[in-house]
Each structure stands twice: as C-alpha cells, then as structure tokens.
Amino acid sequence: MNNKSTRLRFAATATAAALAAGILAVTGNAVAAGGSSNDRSPQVLRFGVTFSPHHVVDVPPLAKHLGDYGPGDYATFGDALTNKTGRRVGTEAGSGLITRVSDTGAQIYFSMAIHLRNGDITAAGIGSTDPHKSLVVTGGTGAFLGARGGVKLVEFRHGTGSLRITLR
C-alpha cells in the first residue's frame, strides 16, 4: 500500500474517531427544546466538545502498519460536551464506520447519541475526513422526543471542537 493511501486511511480512521469522537461542538449554552411542533421556531443547542482518545477496531484483513485501515474498520468514541463557561453538560458517543477508501479520501458512516440533562438526541450520516461534519437528527427521548433537524460538528486542533444542533 502506498504512503498516500496509508495517510488517507489513517486520517479516515482518526476522523471517524474524532467525529465519532467528534460529532458535536461549538461553544454556548444548551437551549431547552421541545418536540417537533411545526409552529415553533427552530431551536439551536451549542456545545464545546472535548474529544476522547479514539479507539480503532481493525477488522480482517488486518492492517499491516499503523494507518492501514479499510472498509469495515471503525472507531468508537465518547466525548464530553461543555457549555460556554466550559462546564460539562452532556456527552456524545458513537462510532464511525469506514465504508470506502480511495486515493482521494475516505467515506465514513457516522452514528451517534447525544446525552443531555433533558433527554437524548440521535444523529447519523455519511461524512469524510473533512473537519466539518453534517448529520441528520434521527430522533430523541425525553424533552427531545420526536426530534428532527441537523447536527453540525467542527473539529478543531488539539482534541476540541464545536457542535451545533438545530431542532425543527
């Protein structure tokens, strides 16, 4: 395997972990959200994200060297969500499954749950190694029951990022 492909595969796995250790951050306070009433304005929840170290699961055929990952390999994550003052207010956890690797990048399927004081929000979508991720809200519990909308995650350097959840 060539060095360029190896670097892309490593970046894909690191990104999967980051999103997946990654899918949620921006600084701000969580805003209480209700169900999916059509007569409500969109509500936006903003968080800082502190990514956990990623855990990569290398499935056969096994990598021959660090970063030599391929379709079927995945990363799991569990990250801390903070408010604008830096206080921990929730967590997000999930995985990023590598579905395709090429010389130009990787395709990764992300699935995650965001746990907040008033309930959980789930999200999923297809992304890449790009530090900007967009996922769709697939549901919720508690105050977020029937949630729909979108999630925007931005990965910064040094293990931090921002998460914006827009509920409609």
| Rounded-to-integer distance, Cα 27 and Cα 58, Å | 33
| Rounded-to-integer distance, Cα 26 and Cα 7, Å | 28
Average pLDDT over residues 141-155: 96
pLDDT category, 46, cuts 50, 70, 90?
very high
For the chain, list the domains and their CATH numbers: 3-167 (2.40.480.10)
Q: What angle do CA 10, 79, 40 make, to 5 degrees?
A: 115
| Rounded-to-integer distance, Cα 147 and Cα 139, Å | 5
Instruction: Decide: pTM greater than 0.95.
Output: no
- pLDDT tens digits, one per residue of 78-129: 999 999 999 999 999 999 999 999 888 899 999 999 999 999 999 999 999 8
Whether the predicted pLDDT of 28 surpasses 80 = no
| Rounded-to-integer distance, Cα 6 and Cα 18, Å | 18
